[in-house]
Amino acid sequence: MIVALLAPAEAAAARGLAAGCEEEGVPLDVRVADTGSSALALARSAARESALGLGAGGADGRLVLVLAAAPGRAYLEAPARDARAFGHAISRIAARRPLPSRT
């Protein structure tokens, strides 16, 4: 399962993320965090919790994906307004399917 932690200001991205993952058939655990961390820090925390080693974080208008095996930098990034497409993309990474060309 992919884990996503969103800052309160980005809570609205949860629906898009969930829809993107559901369309790809990949389970997602999305939660609103109670800390004021950066998107990268939230994604690192999420990646540590994820059985797939894939954590998403959302803060300050951006969404990032971090791989637990390479937590030093964001693996994928997108504006928070593109949450649906980002959900598609991270679930394709999880399912080892190619990213859609429009991402």
Partner 1 sequence: MLVAGVDVGNSTTEVAFARVEPGRAPAFLLVLRGPTSGPKGSLACVDGVRELLDRGARRIGEPARRLLLAELHPVETGLLELGRDEEHGLGRAAIARPASDTPSGLGVGAGTLRRLAELDADPPGTPVVAVVVDEDFDEAAAILKAARDAGVRLAGAIVRGDDAVLIGNRVDRALPIVDEVRDAAELPAGAHAVVEVAAAGESVVELSDPLRLAVLLGLEREETGDARRAARALAGRRAAIAIRAPGRAVAAREVVPAPFAGLEGPPPAVGALRELQLDGTRHDDLLDAFWTPLPAPPEDARLRRSLVRRHAVGVALLARGEAADLVAALDGLAEGGATVVAPEPAAAVRGAATTPGADADPLVIDLGGGTVDVHGAGGTAVAAGAGELVTRLCGGVLVCERSLAERAKRGRSARVETPFVLHHEDGSRSFLAEPAPPRSVGRLCVVEPRGLEPLDAPLAPETWRGLRRAAKRAVLAVNAGRALAAAGGAGAGRVVLLVGGCASDAEVVDEVAATLEEGGAVVARGDVLGRHGPRAAVACGLVLLHAERR
* Closer residue to partner 1 (CB): 35 or 73: 73
Query: In terms of CB distance, is 2 or 89 closer to partner 1?
Result: 89
Spatial CA neighbour of 86 closest among 69, 68, 70, 102: 102
How far apart are CB 84 and partner 1 at their closest, in Å? Answer: 9
User: Which residue, 1 or 99, is less far from partner 1 as judged by CB?
Assistant: 99
Residues lying near partner 1 in the complex (CB under 8 A):
19, 22-25, 67, 69-70, 75-76, 88-89, 92-93, 95-99, 101
Closest separation in Å from C-beta 35 to partner 1: 26
Let me know if 44 is exposed, middle or buried by CB neighbors in 10 A (0-12, 13-18, 19+).
buried
DSSP 75: S
User: 49: burial class by Cβ within 10 Å (0-12, 13-18, 19+)?
Assistant: middle
Residue 12 or 99: the one with the smaller Cβ distance to partner 1 is: 99
